[in-house]
Every structure is written in C-alpha cells, then in structure tokens.
Amino acid sequence: MNMFAHRARQSIRIALKEWRLLLRNPHGLAVLFLMPAIFVLITSVTMKNTLVAPLSMPLTGWVLEDNSQAAKKWLNDWQQRHLGALYPSRQALQQALKDRKIEAGVLVLKGWLTSDGTPDVKQIEIWLDHRIQPAAAGKLRAELAFSTLRAHMNIVAARGGAFTSILLNSVQTSDLLADSNTPQIRYLYEIESGRKINAVQQTVPAWLIFGMFFVVIPIAGVLIQERRDGTLTRLGSFGVSPVALLGGKFAAFLVMNWIQLGFMLAVGYWIVPLLGGEALSLDFSIGWFIGIVLATSTAAISLALAIAAWTQNFDHAAALGSGLNVVLAAIAGVMVPRMLMPANLQLISEWSPMGWALDGMQAVFLGVPEASFMLPRIGLLLAFAVLCGGMSWWRLR
Amino acid sequence: MNTHACLLTAEHLSFVYPDQTDPALQDVSLALERGQALGLLGPNGSGKSTLIDLLMGLKKPQAGKITWTRFALSASSAAILPLSVALVPQEYALYPELTCAENLYFFAGMLAISRQEITRRVEEAIQRCMLEEFLNKRANQCSGGVRRKLNLAIALLQKPDVLMLDETTVGIDLQSKLFILDQIKQLVNAGCAVLFATHHMDEVSALCSNILLLEHGKVVASGALDTLLIHPDKGQVFKDLDALFMHYTQKP
C-alpha cells in the first residue's frame, strides 16, 4: 500500500475517532457551542444599548441646599423639561437611589449661586445608581453643565436689559444633547461599507473566535488521556506517525470549527432578533471570510495541540488552556470592546492571535476587507499555527 | 535477509532519567528468540517498564545497543514478513468512551492492511479473547477483566512476532488472569516471542522458560528457569520462585 495513502487513511480514521469521542462528551460540546452562543446573546443585547439605542436622560431626584431664588427657578426649568423630584435631605435622596425610585441624584450645594450672583457648576454633585450606563451619566453631566451655563447667561442677560433677554429666550427650550438635535456619528467601517454598524455584527465574530480557541478542552482531554494510558505508545507500535496523529486531530477540529461557525451565524441571524437585538447581516465577502476563518481555525487548533502536548495532565491543560484563552480574548478586545480600551492597550491588542483574527473578522463582517489589510493578519495567524504545530510535533515525535 | 530465530538482542543497555542521578537501568543485556517466553521480573521501580520502553524505541539508551531482526518467519503464517512487534502496556491503552468493537476496528484501521483483512483480524481477536458479548459495550462500562482482554486483543490485531506485556494481569479476577495467560501460552506455542514483565511469580512459572531478574536497574539473575532454581551457593533447589526472587532481591 502506498505510504502516503496509508498515512492519509490513518489520519481520516483518527479524525472520525475524535468526532465519535467528541459526540460522547457533552461537556466538551457545551463549551464549544453553548458558551459562545450565550455570550453572543448577552453581549449583542448589551452592546445594542451602547452602540445604537437612543440614550435617555436618567430620572433625577434633587436636593437644593442652596436656597436662592435662582436655584429654585433653575430646578423649575429642569423639571419642566426632564421631570425630577425634589427631596428634603441628602439622606432622603440616598434612600430614593437605593430604592431605585430615581436613577441619579443632583445635589445643589450651598454656594451654587456665588456672591457675584452667578451659578457655579462646581457646586453640583451628581449621585449615581450603580447600574446607570456611563454614557447616560455623561449625558446628565453635560446637560447639567449646559443648563447651569444657560442660567448663568440668563442672569447676566437680565442685567443687560430686555433686548439681551429676548435674544437668549430663543434657545431657552433646547437641550444640549436632544435626541433629535445632535450630530450623527459614523464609524469608519460604516463609511467604507455603507452598512450600519450594530452590536451583533461585532459580537458574533468576537465570540466565534473565542469559541474556536476553546477546542483546547476536547483536544487536551483526548490527547492527554492517550499519553497517560499508553495509547500513544500503542499507536506508535501500530505505525502511526506524529504527523498522521496530529493531522487526524487537526482535520477533526477543523470541521468542528466550521460547524461552530454555522451555529454562531444561526444564533446571530435567528436567535438574537428574538431577544430584541438586531439580526446578523450575512452580506459580506465570502472569499475573505473563508480565508480568515480557516487561518483562525488553524491557529486555534495548533495552539490547543501545543498546550495538550506540553502539559502534564488534563487539569493543567484545562487551566492553562482556559486561562490563556480568557487572557488572549481580553487582550484582543473580545471581552471588552477595543473602543473602551486606552490607546496603549489597543496597540497591544492588535498584536495578539485573537486580535489578528478579530481584526480580520470585523473587517469582513463590518467593513470592506482589502488584501493589504487581510493578508498580513492571515499570514500572522498561519505563522503562529506553524510555531504551535512545530512545538506539538517536537513533543510527540 | 536475516530470518534467524533470535529476534532481538540488547547489549549492555544503560539509561538514566534526565531528572535523576541513579541509573534506571545499568548494563542490561538480553536476547529473545522465536517461541520463547522471557519473564522480566523485579520489584517495583526495578526498571522493567523502562527496559520495555527502550526495547520499543520509546526511549533512547545512553549506552548499549539494541538489535532487532528486520524480517522474520511470521508466527502466524509460513511467510517471511517484516517483524511485527506489539505492546500490551500496563494501562488500558484504549479509548474508554468507544465500544469494544469500535476500539478494535479503530486500531486495526491503523495497520497497512485491506478492509477485508481488518475485518478478519478483528473477528479473530474477538473470538480469541472471547469478547463477543461485550462488543457494543463501551470499554469504560466493562469490568477490569474484559478491559484486560480487550487490551490484549488490540495487540493481537498486529499478528505479532514479538509481544511485550507489561504487568498485563494487574487488578483482574483469577478466571480472567488464567484466560489471558492461556492465550499468551498459545501465542508462544505458535512461535511468538514474548517478553512478560510482572512481579507475580506464579505467572512466570506458568508461562516462562527463561527469566531476567532486575533489581535497582541491574540484572541480578538471568537464564533458564530450571537452572536458576538451583541455589548458586548451596547447590540446593529453591523451594519455589518466590524464594528465588527473595534471595536475589535480598529482602527477607
């Protein structure tokens, strides 16, 4: 029998055996399919708020420690636009926050109206419920600052006479960040592709990558058992080379990664909309999509094989594999979107395997992928795979 | 082409594990011939498994030489074929989540043989090790005795000229043990060379004509069992193999 054909047949049989073992391992399947799907569902709905949902003004409660007429008038103006209950004391305000009757407290300190008769924005404290979105808190702060400025101008204008007051009254009712009256934000991806950026378009590729790298759990489970029980030794005595062994495992999990991919696309397309999120758009470049998924899958399986080959037992492999995946995912911006990272961390995240994969996937899912952007990332992922594959072969040879 | 009866010779083998200073094996020599069962004896940690690893090529000796005959007159047919060496490790070297049949077909599928031959060898191994009623049972749901039989059956798929067994009967009931020993005896009678590592003297006396006794990685006694049973100093016959073992391993 031709040696190459024999080795190929060995690899195919090893791949089928891996599949059989995987199908009998419900925990491994849960890690590979359910975990990333749950992450997609949660983060798609969560990120939807951050990215596209209209930002509403938090419901406020007020305590006026400044008893000036100007402060009362200022509060009255605010209540006409945004409501807001008045509380008699700090304690009452704190209790209202705890009881979730309000989302934010505004404490107008004594001295808000300065000795020269103008308001001082530094004499305002904002108390927030723990659950309030940072963007909503930012909106409240900006509106309070703008409103204080307007009160300041009204006071100054009143001193300036009737004409100045009439001029100011024309902008009196508008808010700084009114929903219908703000500049539009467009991300670069959106400008390039013309597609509207949405949460599910970002979370599906991110968590897909995370799930793909979690093949370390089933791969390590079997490979370490094979090593511990002498099955690898026995396979060696049956003429199975490390290349045929690794090739079989690689083929099995390559197919598995594609099934993961199909599952995650289905979750994004059908399940996320059922929970109130946007549907995943599948309008992207298929060629680059296949390229980046193959490169990511190759890197993920090779890393898993290297971890399985170099750890002593399954506990070590599971701890190292899971821990490393979580760290890599955190660095790459899978867990915390890159937009929330400081500039230095963003730079680091672009130099990690999951970062290369995420860049490539997001270019496919969100923007218009170009060869000059995609090829270096695919190349880096494949180089990483060769390094990890070489380490596995060295250990098992 | 060498089809000589001597299938394996090992000369002056020494091996030290990388993280240890004391040698696991020191100046060990042996020869294994067709139809011979060599009992590899020694207390725990004496170097039996290390010696098997060296002979299987899984570890490289730091000193000494191992020579395998490349071709042999097949133990199962009259043809001259590449030497087939099978290992039955101490552990259950199989897939616990697969059924007995799946294990057998998987391992047979690793051999460079046709589909028909795969089926034939699997059926033969099943019959020989009496696994018929366990075929659809997962290995991890079988008793220790059945798993030991499956462990042996997998090795038999290779139609071995040389069979190395490392404490193959540990932890099983008497019936299963006697069954396995009987199968090994039949293989020896058919011309298979067997290296049988154990610390059960009764198994050695039932199966082996020659023994190699290791203590702290050194050979303390080797040769034909009949000869060794005569006390080297007193000229008397040892009461049994246990007495011989205790004499050479210097434990009261």
Q: What are the tens digits of pLDDT across the range A145-162?
A: 988 888 888 888 777 777
Going residue by residue through chain B (252 aa), what tens digit of pLDDT does each one get? 344 478 899 999 999 998 888 899 999 999 999 999 999 998 888 999 899 989 988 788 999 999 888 766 555 555 665 678 899 988 899 999 999 999 999 999 999 999 999 999 999 999 999 999 999 999 999 999 999 999 999 999 999 999 999 988 887 888 888 998 999 999 999 999 999 998 888 888 889 989 999 999 999 989 888 888 877 666 677 777 788 788 888 654
Q: Which residues of B touch A6 (CB under 8 A)?
A: 112
Domain boundaries, chain B: 6-84+162-249, 97-158
Its pTM stands at 0.78
Return the pLDDT at A117. Answer: 84
Return the pLDDT at A134. Answer: 81
**Token pair for residue A304?**
């898993």
Rounded distance, CA B61 to CA B82, Å? Answer: 24
Asked whether the beta carbons of A85 and A102 are under 8 A apart, the reply is: yes
In this complex, the residue of A17, A229, A237 whose CB is nearest that of residue B87 is: A237
State whether A228 and B91 contact (CB < 8 Å): yes
Chain A with chain B: Cβ pairs closer than 8 A: 64
**Token pair for residue A15?**
């791949």
Shortest Cα distance, chain B CAs vs residue A382, angstroms: 29
Place of tokens 């093949």: A215
Asked whether the beta carbons of A263 and A26 are under 8 A apart, the reply is: no
Query: Superfamily assignment of B6-84+162-249 in CATH?
Result: P-loop containing nucleotide triphosphate hydrolases (3.40.50.300)
- Bigger pLDDT: A343 vs A54: A343
Return the pLDDT at A131. Answer: 83
Measured CB to CB, residues of chain A less than 8 Å from chain B are: 1, 6, 9-10, 13, 17, 20-21, 24-25, 225, 228-231, 233-240
Asked whether the beta carbons of A364 and A373 are under 8 A apart, the reply is: no
In this complex, the residue of B58, B93, B110 whose CB is nearest that of residue A13 is: B110
* pLDDT at A181 > cutoff 50: yes
Average pLDDT for residues A255-263, to the nearest whole number? 93
Cβ–Cβ contacts within 10 Å for residue B184, how many? 24
**Which residues are B6's β-sheet partners?**
B33
In this complex, the residue of A13, A225, A228 whose CB is nearest that of residue B109 is: A13
* pLDDT at A292 > cutoff 90: yes
Q: In the Cβ-directed half-sphere of A298, how many Cα atoms lie within 13 Å?
A: 20
ipTM surpasses cut 0.90: no
| CB proximity B93 to A under 8 Å | yes
Return the pLDDT at B6. Answer: 86
Domain boundaries, chain A: 3-52+188-396, 60-169
Asked whether the beta carbons of A300 and A212 are under 8 A apart, the reply is: yes
State whether A230 and B91 contact (CB < 8 Å): yes
CATH for A60-169, options being 3.40.1710.10, 3.30.479.30, 2.40.40.20, 2.40.160.50: 3.40.1710.10
| Amino acid, res. B55 | L
